[in-house]
Amino acid sequence: MFLRTILTLIILFLVAPMHLSADIPLGQLDRIRTLANEGDPEAQYQMGLSHLLATSGVKKDLELAIRWFLIAAMEDHPGAEYQLGYIYFTGYGTQRNVEKSFKYYKSAAEKDYPQAQNNIGVFYKDGIGTKKNTALAFINFKRAADKGYAKAQYNLAVLYYKGIYVDKDYSRAAYWFRLAAELGNPKAQTALANMYLHGDGVEANLHKSVYWLREARKKQEFQATIQLRELGL
């Protein structure tokens, strides 16, 4: 019952922007900037990240970061599209625009970018910037989950647990919660702990329940902390 209460909360929402390779190696910035000016989309993306994060000796400049991401996105760079999806959704450095956010996340998702697939799944599930479409939400969560992306695995598990689009299936929910939990997702760890506590889709096992609650507590997961206190642990 406790898990059902937890899962009535919003599905784990949007991941933070990916900051991969943001710190350009010393002495390479001029070369990256030259390549970016010559039209290399990966270099343009790296310049965008540098201005977004103020790394590599570059000043933080959100307007310039967005400009580089837009240029790279014109060349179908999925990382740049993903960043723009996040930027337009949050209004970070620009006016918030969920329709533009949907557009860029969708484009990156179609290029098999798992973080974007997860986020576009949320958009379809909740009708953000588009009409609700639980079938497309499921498809995108599943694609990202199959690539080993923990947040998508958690979101997919919630669909199985609550019976959204698919038939309610606690065993499948437990399977995906477990994969995400093993990758360190604290919400999945808490959900899996509760499945072990109540025997939903798995054999009840207090030892395993406490183990996963403690793992989630290490990451300051609030619900796990509360439950451990209730158990006197």
Distance of CA 92 to the CA centre of its chain: 17
Give the SS3 label for residue 24. coil
Q: What is the pLDDT of residue 1?
A: 43
More confident residue, 77 or 57: 77
Q: What is the pLDDT of residue 58?
A: 82
Residue 57, both tokens: 């000796």
Q: Which CATH number fits domain 148-233: 1.10.760.10, 1.10.3720.10, 1.10.274.10, 1.25.40.10?
A: 1.25.40.10
CA-CA distance, 146 to 149, in Å (whole number)?
A: 7
pLDDT at 27 over 80: no
- Write out pLDDT tens, residues 121-160: 999 999 999 999 999 999 999 999 999 999 999 999 999 9
CA-CA distance, 172 to 161, in Å (whole number)?
A: 8
Domain spans in the chain, listed from the N-terminal domain onward: 15-132, 148-233
CA-CA distance, 14 to 17, in Å (whole number)?
A: 9
Q: What is the pLDDT of residue 55?
A: 81
Q: What is the pLDDT of residue 18?
A: 54
| Mean residue pLDDT across the chain | 90
CATH architecture for the domain at 15-132: Alpha Horseshoe (1.25)
CA-CA distance, 114 to 186, in Å (whole number)?
A: 19
For the residues 101-124, what does the mean pLDDT come to?
97
Find where tokens 């943001």 sit.
22
DSSP letter, residue 91? T
More confident residue, 22 or 115: 115
> Within 13 A of 209's CA, how many CA atoms are on the CB side?
18
CA-CA distance, 70 to 142, in Å (whole number)?
A: 28
- The model's confidence at residue 231, banded by pLDDT at 50, 70 and 90, is confident
The percent of the chain in helix, strand and coil, each rounded to the nearest 5, is 65, 0, 35
CA-CA distance, 30 to 88, in Å (whole number)?
A: 29
- The model's confidence at residue 17, banded by pLDDT at 50, 70 and 90, is low
Q: Which of 194, 216, 214 is nearest to 205 (CA)?
A: 194
